[in-house]
Structure formats: C-alpha cells, structure tokens
A and B are shown apart, each in its own frame.
Chain A
C-alpha cells in the first residue's frame, strides 16, 4: 500500500503539473527514497511502479528508476537502513549526472547560437534555459520567442525566468508560431523522450513548431541528454501519450456554463526525425537517425535491459 501523500505525488507526475521532465524525475526519485526509508522495499517498489506507469513517456524517469531499482535489488538482503543509504547515494549520483548533462549539452548547443540570433522555444526546459544562460554569459546578444504552451502554460514561467536573466524575451500564443517563424533563426526544443528512430516526444505543440520551422527552413535543435533516449522503443514499445491536466480548460468552460463540451488535451506530441536538424546531448551533436547507435552504446546490442516491471514485482513480493 502506498500512503496518501505519496499517492498525491503519483498524480502530480501523471498530469505534468511539474513543468520540466527533469524536475519531475528529481521529484519522483525523492519520493521513492521517502517510501523506501519510511515504508521499506515493498512500498518503494510499489511506488516506483506507480510513478513510472504514471509517466511512461519520461525516458529519464524510467532510465533513472531502472538504475535505482538495480541498486536496491542487488542489496535487498541487507538491513533497511543500509539499503536506504545506498539508494540515497545512488539518487545523488543520478542527479549529479543529470545536472552535468545539462551543462555539457548546453556547452555544445551554445556553439550553434550566433550573435543576434532569434531563438524560439516552447514549454519549460532546464536544458534550453542553460543554453540561453551560457549564450548571455558569453556576452552574445540573443532574442528568445517563447510560446505560452497551453495547456499548463509553462511558457510563462520560461519567459519569466529568461527575462529575469536579462534576456530579450517575446511571448506569443501557441497559434502565432507560423506567423513569427519568418523572424526566427533557430528553434530549440527539449525532450521528454527520444525514440530509437530519432523521433522526439515533447510538450504538445512542439511538433507543429517543428513543422512550421521545416516549412520556413529554420533549423530545429533538440537539447537533451542521452539519459532521455528510450531503449524500450528498440524492442517495439509504443510511447503512449497521456492526457494533460486540462482543469484550467474545463474551469473556463464551467464558468461559461459549457460543462457539456468535451475536452481533449494530449500532454505531449511526437516530432518526426525529418523535422529535426540535430539532437544535442552531453555526448555531442548527432543526427536524429543516430539515436539508434546512441542506444547501442549505452545499453549494448541488442539492448540488454533490466525488465523494470518484473524487477519491481519481484521486490514487492519480497515485501518489507
């Protein structure tokens, strides 16, 4: 059984209420540690299962959880305090790796930004934010167009934080993307997940931005980490797109007495590889079609993966 406060954590991760997938992963890992320390291995395993199922699109969450679960499984015979300590150190290490990946990817991406460039981005991303920070620190002037990114409106937070960094920011509604594209030099997107064929799953709206950029011959760069590459997609797993938390959309309808209107609001969309000029990670810049090779380098060929669900069920049976 998972306690109510952890139950709420699952819901927050499911609905994308936590804007960036990196932040969502940090949050989820902390909750898993809490479950382990306070409830033991059984509760840890159940929560880990629920969290990864709540956000199966997040390759970072799934990959990080897999590493954490392996650590716990390998030492399951030891006293709980020791397992908890090992898990804590593992989470610290994972977070450290993700933080350095942000810096390393941004260091590669910033070289592609020329002085005077106008960039366009959507949603809230620690990776994209770091690129802009680096560019500004080099004293290169850059303008960033940010879309609102409804539903959720994470673009407002992105615009706000970039503006506070001293960046010249222009906010537009999601619909205005094709209108502004003529004045844009490069599009920077982040990723929830990169699939084996080099497609990128990201906040809904990303794929129509990439399409508009493609039409206008504007380059599209995805700034991310190899930890967001999804090895499961090599073995044919489909990436299921969850529904966004559309409570704001519904609330507006309710205020106008329009409860009868249905709402459909996917949280993510899929940008095909042909609209992406390069995927930039801590390992460098690569063509989207190279994603497959990156997966091979990380997980072997064919990818050898710890079957996460099986491992977690196993841990749950073991109890604790």
Chain B
C-alpha cells in the first residue's frame, strides 16, 4: 500500500507530459517539488520500501519528457544520494535526505536564475533590440533586469508555433513595461537587420556545446550568423547534459500533429503527415556565448562546466550512472 504514488505527484507528472508545465527550468523545479511531496507523504515505516517507492516516483517523472535534460539532472540530484547509499537507516533519515536535496535544488535553481539575470543584463546595451524565441525565464529575467537598470530595451518575440509560447514571453515583458513586438517565425530573416542580439533559452546543452532548444532556434542562429548578429543562450548549468559525454544523443521529441492542425484537417487528408518536432540542435559554432550562473562561457567550455559540477573523474562516472538510472 505504501507504494501508491500520491495523486498530487501523478498530477505533476501529467502536467509535465501534457506541457501544462513547460520550460526546462520549470520542469526541473516541478520534479524536485514532486519528489519532496512524495517523500513527505510516504505513510509507511520500511526504509527499503521507501527507497523503492522513491525510485518509482523518480521513474514516473523521468518518463514524461525525453529531451529536457534538466529533468533527469534534477531527479538525479534529489534522489541520487538515497539510491546510491549502500544502506538506508530509518524512513525518517531517508525522507530527510530527499527533502533536503529537493529544497537545496530549488534554492539553487532560484539563485542561478538571479545570477543569470545579473550577468546577462550586463550584455544588454542601452537601446538594444533583442530577439528571442519561445519562452525562457532566464531570457525574460535578463531583459527585465536590464530594463530595471534603466537600459531601454525593445524585444522581438517570435510567435513560436505550434504552441505560441511567444505569447507567454510577450505577456511577461509587457507586465514588466518592456516594449515588445510579436513576429511570425517565418519573418526572422526579414527583420534580423533591426536586431542587435539574439538571446534564447535552452532545454539541454551537450558536452560539445551544442544547444538543444525549441524548434526553430537553430534556424535563427543560422540567420544571426549570416548577418553577424550575436547569438546568446541563457541557461542554468543543470541543463548541461552529462549523458552526451558518453555519446548518448539527445532524443528530439516529436509531438502530436493536432498541435499543428485541427483533427478535422487530418481526417480530411488521411494520407497527409504532420511532422512536429519539439526541438532542434544549434551547433556550437553559431553560438557567441552561453550565459550561465557561473558566467558567460564559450560553447566549447561546456565540458569544463560538466567537470566542475561532477568532478573530472565524476563526469564519466556520473554519465554512466545517470544513463543506467534513466534506462
């Protein structure tokens, strides 16, 4: 009985899967919170059973979205020490371990966002026109911070088909009093000449500095490169993927066709296929810098970030452990 996953946790998992919670940072925090709730709600007294129960909750959360590396990183951060411990003491001890790791992750995530806002805002000049794609809390925080510092910033936000996350970005910026213009995804090259820099978020950063982000990001990076416009990625380091180090490719999630066209259109054209990839990969050569909580790094320094997080030896070890856990 003690193994039943609390309804609240099941709901968080389905919110992530159905993209009611979206954005790599928010997904990571939601997963950490869900693990905390799960630990707190465990009613039994068997420590070994508790560990199995937490493993099940972790697996449930990991299955929701395949691409966002923040999810396995957050889950691994929260439950790793418990699952790797040679023996568990009491349920209370084990519970405290999970809750502490979860709240320390959430605290870290909040502080990281704050640091990114501060560091990133220094890259924004007075009068800059910034183009962004999709909705990234890190990017919005940077622009808001720059505006608070008295810099006049105007923003081009792409609509971001199929789910129009550009509207979320527009709302956040509008509420902060930032001048924002929504543009169709197809018009980026038409308007790039008026843009001073591009700043986007990330769903994952690979060991070679390639950035996985919302579909369309790599096309924008290519356009920015063509016109010599700086292209920055703003992201917390927990989105850097240790798995890629072991050669694991980042899986690009394909989502349902009904996000793009209504069901009636599909019914009318039974032979027509809709390809709806959620993400694409921007090569490191198109990226000017990655704005993280530890500083602005060139994409080629992604491995340095991984080594600093997991330790030089640990990088390889962590990579293999994490892959095993995910499998």
Contact = CB atoms under 8 A, between A and B. Distances in A.
B13 to A, nearest CB: 27
B272 A179 contact: no
Contacts, number: 154
Nearest to A149: B186
Contact of A253 (B161, B170, B274, B276): B170
B174 interface: yes
Contact of B261 (A168, A171, A244): A171
Contacts of B174: 258, 260-261
B7 to A, nearest CB: 30
Given A160-B268, A163-B271, A252-B164, A175 B185 contact: yes
A306 interface: no
B226 interface: yes
Interface in B187-238: 187-191, 214-216, 218-219, 222-223, 226
Interface in A180-198: 180
A212 B222 contact: yes
Most buried by B among A171, A205, A241, A260: A171
A222 interface: no
A169 B182 CA distance: 30
A170 B275 CA distance: 6
B160 interface: yes
Main secondary structure of the interface of B (DSSP, over half): mixed
A254 B308 CA distance: 47
B240 interface: no
Contact of A150 (B186, B191, B219, B277): B186
A175 B189 CA distance: 12
Contact of A266 (B190, B219, B272): B190
Contact of A175 (B160, B183, B190): B160
B272 A169 contact: yes
A150 B159 contact: yes
Nearest to B180: A261
B286 to A, nearest CB: 10
Interface string A271-307: 0000000000000000000000000000000000000
A258 B187 contact: no
A263 B218 CA distance: 23
Most buried by A among B159, B164, B260: B159
B84 interface: no
Given A163-B271, A171-B274, A173-B276, A208 B219 contact: yes
B190 A269 contact: yes
A111 interface: no
Interface of A: 145, 147-151, 156, 159-160, 163-164, 166, 168-180, 203-205, 207-208, 211-212, 215, 241, 244, 246, 249, 252-253, 256, 258, 260-266, 269
15 contacts: A150-B159, A170-B272, A174-B161, A175-B158, A175-B215, A176-B280, A178-B219, A204-B184, A211-B226, A262-B180, A263-B181, A263-B183, A265-B183, A265-B184, A269-B189
